């Protein structure tokens, strides 16, 4: 099945995959808890998605259909490169259609289309520790997680409100998983956070450089931290997509000239194309 | 009408082709061979083997060539290769006493058993550009050959330890961990710390070591000994039950001698900072020894205020393949997050403007 002789199916050797799968099982059993794993040195650089790639390689089977997105788009260079990596090392089918994919590896977005049971969403994670900016010592944050001591984060959010009148975190917005572990949703926009809640698909998170794996099993409670009088508010540009007219999807701002001209288009390119096709069919 | 950018795959292909072209340079010039790199840029090869943590001169030379001389990129290439290799087991500990010495110096004694051997060192060269090399200087005159000294060359720190002046290291009972298989957790024991330092970035360790000398966690070091030379690597295959010689490698070892004022349980004595690297890498071995000793400060009751004394700080940031990956990943697209920051800043600006207007 592998198209690159000399390497195992999906690059990693089977004992490494087994090690990663064990970490994944533990992660699924303790939703939101970061499990250390023996992250390998990959032929792509740290920061390019080595954690996500290792997780994908560990769960990938020959009949899987893989979709890779970066910033919501299938055609960003890094998404292209990772998709090519798996085509080359695993010879599996790839797709740009969210609905057709069995595994979706993503950086910075959750697809707009509702994911379904049986699908797996693999996130690339740069900093798995949600408390990292408040407490850089891992030995200390482990203790805080063990005791579910998340006061630091609540104080940070409170200070945001005191200073700005609202919570000033717009991405990597921290979530409580299953009302037990504070978790970084990876640097997705806060707009995407609500999609994690009770998602029918399995969500797996891989941080290669930091050597951590964590997971949110299907239909798990995921709550964005907030206060009763300052409820969580997802942020998006208050415009309609120039291409499909959508008013409820996450938009990218595109500068079209140097005189302040700009348009807004869907960040999820597959979803946008689907909507455009539907619009055309209706006309 | 706006159309979303397409053609990432084509662009990547073209970029790689261009990269191949600039790597080769002017085709009128003869192509560099990996043997030339291995022979004539030997210290680059040594550094790549050390930071790539894989002893293979030929592959390291190939990595230097392929990376256009970018040594961190070369170490990365070698690491990505190393990680695919099967593991048969661990070699026997190297006995650096038995080294075939090319260089051995001690700064703590004028003369000592085994003598001082300068070896091929830059130390006393005058750093004047040698324009004969630019003009293809031909063959060097050749170094005079001395009689090999058959007497053994005991380690300086061992001589001190015999007098009870040097703290002995507790022998490791269990097999040391492998940080390339198991993630590092803190606090990390000394074998793991030394592993991380041995593959750590030379520049980072140099600056950290330097910072200890300038007062950030100082520990009054003396170079007890630096030795460089060839040493046999031995391995005991399970099915044979006796040691088999796998071949010789060149390594550099540095043992720093540091003061220790003593504690309630231990008398005043010298303590050791240890550095060991593949190839001829004196600057790295010395820096490693300084940082190793600084990392022992907490257990010796000397505090942990200085950066070099904080193991989470040092060990989490000394790996240049990790560091370069995370720093350089900032050039990947981040426009989704930037968009939400844009909206965020616009909201905050609007609020601030309104407040100012009132």
| In a shared domain, residues B255 and B224 | yes
Smallest CA-to-CA distance from A167 within A236, A250, A232, A238 is with: A232
Clarify whether residues A204 and A250 are in a common domain: no
Rounded (10°) CA dihedral A97, A101, A107, A112: 60
Mean per-residue pLDDT for B303-319? 95
Mean pLDDT of A117-121: 97
Question: Could you tell me if residue A197 is inside a domain?
Answer: yes
Domain membership flag for residue B331: no
The pLDDT, as a whole number, for residue A88 is 92
Please report the pLDDT score of residue A53 as a whole number. Answer: 97
Q: How confident is the model at residue B5 (pLDDT cuts 50, 70, 90)?
A: low
**Could you give the number of structural domains in chain B?**
2
| B331 vs B148, residue with greater confidence | B331
A30 and A130 part of one domain: yes
Is B142 part of any domain?
no
* Whether A141 and A213 share a structural domain: yes
Residue B330 lies in a domain: no
From the list A81, A138, A269, the residue facing B4 with the nearest CB is A269
Q: Is residue B141 part of a domain?
A: no
User: ipTM score of the complex?
Assistant: 0.86
> With 80 as the cut, is the pLDDT of residue B20 above it?
yes
A251 close to A239: Cβ distance less than 8 angstroms = yes
Is residue A185 situated within a structural domain? Answer: yes
Q: Count how many domains chain A has.
A: 2
Is-catalytic flag, A32?
yes
Candidates B2, B6, B7, B8: best to mutate against A (most CBs of A within 10 A) is B8
Rg (CA), chain A: 19
Checking if the pLDDT of A252 tops 50, the result is: yes
Residue tagged active-site, from A32, A51, A206, A208: A32
State whether B197 and B266 are in the same domain: yes
**A139–B340 CB contact, under 8 Å:** no
The CATH number covering residue A73 comes to 3.40.50.11310
Domain identity same for B214 and B297: yes
Is A127 touching B (CB cutoff 8 A)? no
Contact check, Cβ <8 Å, A209/B334: no
Do the Cβ atoms of A126 and B326 come within 8 Å? Answer: yes
Note down the domain range covering A67: 14-224
Please indicate, yes or no, whether residues A128 and A200 belong to a single structural domain of this protein.
Answer: yes
CB pairs under 8 A between A and B: 149
Sign of the torsion angle spanned by Cα atoms A184, A185, A189, A194: negative
**Residue A4: inside a domain, yes or no?**
no
Per-residue pLDDT band at A220 (split at 50, 70, 90)? very high
Find the range with the poorest average confidence among A199-203, B256-260, B261-265. Answer: B261-265
Q: Does residue A251 share a domain with residue A199? A: no
Q: Are residues B161 and B263 in the same domain?
A: yes
Cβ contact A267–B185 (<8 Å): no
Q: Is residue A142 located within the same domain as residue A62?
A: yes
Position B113 in a domain: yes
Residues A71 and A208 in one domain: yes
Name the residue among B5, B83, B340 with its Cβ closest to that of A75.
B5
Indicate if B78 and B101 belong to the same structural domain.
Answer: no
Mutate which: A44, A69, A77, vs B, most B CBs within 10 A = A77
B176 Cα to chain A: minimum distance (Å): 16
B2 chain-A contacts, CB cut-off 8 A = 242-243, 254, 256, 263, 265
> Do B200 and B75 share a structural domain?
no
In chain A, what residues touch B339 (CB-CB under 8 Å)? Answer: 189, 237, 250-253, 267
Query: DSSP code of B97?
Result: G
Within-domain flag for B157: yes
Do B65 and B111 belong to one domain?
A: no
Q: Quick one: pLDDT band at residue A260, thresholds 50, 70, 90?
A: confident
Give B325-331 contacts, CB < 8 A, sequence gap 24+: B325/A45, B325/A46, B325/A47, B325/A48, B325/A50, B325/A209, B326/A46, B326/A47, B326/A126, B326/A209, B327/A47, B328/A45, B328/A47, B329/A45, B329/A46, B329/A47, B329/A48, B329/A126, B330/A47
Same-domain status, B111 and B254: yes
Confidence of residue A2 (pLDDT cuts 50, 70, 90): very low
Residues B44 and B103 in one domain: no
Nearest to A47 among B86, B184, B326 (CB): B326
Judgement on whether residues B76 and B100 belong to the same structural domain of the protein: no
Q: Give the per-residue pLDDT at B261.
A: 78
My answer on whether B157 and B282 are in the same domain is yes
- Looking at residue A3, its pLDDT comes to 59
Which two structure tokens, joined as six digits, stand for B149?
A: 């000294």
Same domain, A18 and A77: yes
A51 is catalytic: no
In a domain, A144, yes or no: yes
- For residue B143, being part of any structural domain is answered with no
* Co-location of A215 and A117 in the same domain: yes
Task: Flag whether A98 is in a domain.
Answer: yes
Same domain, A167 and A105: yes
Q: Identify the closest residue of chain B to A167 by CA–CA distance.
A: B344
Instruction: Decide if B357 is inside a domain.
Output: no
Tell me the residue range of the domain where B294 lies: 96-123+151-168+185-323
Query: In this structure, is residue A7 part of a structural domain?
Result: no
By CB atoms closer than 10 A (0-12, 13-18, 19+), residue B185 is middle
The highest-confidence range among A4-8, A21-25, A76-80, by mean pLDDT, is A21-25
- Residues A120, A162, single domain; the answer is yes
Assess if residue A104 is contained within a domain: yes
Do A183 and A244 fall within a single domain?
Answer: no
Q: Do the domain assignments include residue A155?
A: yes
Angle at which helix B71-82 crosses helix B320-328, to 10 degrees, equals 110
Spell out which residues of chain B touch residue A236, defining contact as CB-CB under 8 Å: 340, 343
In the prediction, which pLDDT does A29 show? Answer: 98
Whether B72 and B207 map to the same domain: the answer is no
Q: Which of A29-33, B8-12, B106-110 has the highest mean pLDDT?
A: A29-33
> Is A101 within 8 Å of A119 (Cβ atoms)?
yes
User: Which residues in chain B have their CB less than 8 angstroms from residue A187's CB?
Assistant: 334, 337
Find which of B312, B328, B332 to mutate to test the A interface (most A CBs within 10 Å of its CB): B332
């Amino acid at each position: 099945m592998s198209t690159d002789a000399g390497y195992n199916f999906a690059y990693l050797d089977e004992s490494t995959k087994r090690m990663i799968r064990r970490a994944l099982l533990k992660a699924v059993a303790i939703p939101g808890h970061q499990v250390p794993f023996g992250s390998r040195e990959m032929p792509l650089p740290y920061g390019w998605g080595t954690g996500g790639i290792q997780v994908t390689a560990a769960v990938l089977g020959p009949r899987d259909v893989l979709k890779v997105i970066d910033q919501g788009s299938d055609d960003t260079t890094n998404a292209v490169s990772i998709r090519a990596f798996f085509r080359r090392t695993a010879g599996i089918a790839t797709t740009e259609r969210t609905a057709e994919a069995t595994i979706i590896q993503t950086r910075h977005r959750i697809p707009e289309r509702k994911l379904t049971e049986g699908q797996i969403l693999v996130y690339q994670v740069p900093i798995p520790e949600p408390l990292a900016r408040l407490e850089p010592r891992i030995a200390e944050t482990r203790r805080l997680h063990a005791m579910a001591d998340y006061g630091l984060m609540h104080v940070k959010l409170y200070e945001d409100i005191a200073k700005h009148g609202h919570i000033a975190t717009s991405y990597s917005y921290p979530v409580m998983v299953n009302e037990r572990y504070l978790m970084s949703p990876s640097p997705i926009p806060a707009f995407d956070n609500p999609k994690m809640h009770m998602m029918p698909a399995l969500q797996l998170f891989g941080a290669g450089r930091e050597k951590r794996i964590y997971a949110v099993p299907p239909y798990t409670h995921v709550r964005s931290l907030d206060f009763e009088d300052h409820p969580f508010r997802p942020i998006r540009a208050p415009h309609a997509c120039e291409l499909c007219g959508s008013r409820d999807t996450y938009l990218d701002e595109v500068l079209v000239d140097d005189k302040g001209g700009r348009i807004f288009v869907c960040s999820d390119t597959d979803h946008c194309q689907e909507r455009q096709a539907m619009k055309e069919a209706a006309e | 009408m706006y159309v979303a950018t397409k053609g990432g795959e084509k662009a990547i292909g073209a970029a790689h082709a261009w990269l191949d072209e600039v790597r080769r340079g002017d085709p009128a010039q003869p192509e560099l061979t990996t043997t030339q790199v291995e022979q004539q840029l030997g210290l680059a090869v040594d550094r790549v083997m050390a930071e790539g943590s894989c002893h293979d001169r030929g592959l390291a030379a190939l990595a230097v060539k392929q990376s256009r001389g970018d040594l961190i990129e070369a170490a990365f290439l070698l690491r990505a290769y190393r990680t695919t290799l099967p593991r048969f087991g661990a070699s026997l500990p190297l006995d650096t006493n038995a080294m075939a010495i090319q260089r051995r110096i001690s700064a703590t004694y004028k003369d000592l058993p085994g003598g001082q051997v300068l070896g091929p060192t830059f130390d006393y060269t005058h750093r004047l550009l040698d324009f004969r090399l630019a003009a293809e200087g031909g063959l060097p005159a050749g170094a005079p050959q001395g009689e090999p000294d058959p007497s053994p060359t005991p380690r300086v720190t061992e001589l001190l330890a015999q007098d009870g002046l040097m703290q002995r290291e507790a022998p490791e009972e269990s097999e040391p961990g492998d940080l390339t298989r198991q993630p590092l957790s803190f606090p990390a024991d000394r074998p793991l710390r030394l592993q991380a330092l041995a593959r750590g970035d030379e520049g980072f360790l140099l600056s950290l070591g330097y910072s200890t000398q300038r007062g950030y966690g100082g520990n009054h070091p003396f170079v007890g000994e630096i030795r460089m030379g060839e040493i046999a690597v031995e391995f005991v295959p399970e099915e044979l039950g006796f040691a088999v010689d796998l071949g010789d490698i060149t390594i550099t070892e540095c043992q720093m001698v540091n003061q220790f004022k003593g504690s309630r349980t231990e008398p005043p004595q010298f303590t050791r900072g240890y550095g060991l690297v593949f190839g001829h890498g004196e600057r790295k071995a010395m820096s490693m020894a300084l940082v190793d000793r600084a990392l022992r400060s907490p257990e010796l009751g000397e505090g942990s205020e200085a950066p070099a004394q904080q193991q989470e700080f040092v060990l989490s940031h000394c790996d240049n393949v990790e560091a370069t990956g995370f720093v350089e990943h900032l050039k990947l697209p981040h426009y989704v997050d930037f968009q939400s920051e844009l909206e965020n800043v616009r909201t905050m600006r609007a609020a601030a403007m309104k407040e100012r207007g009132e």
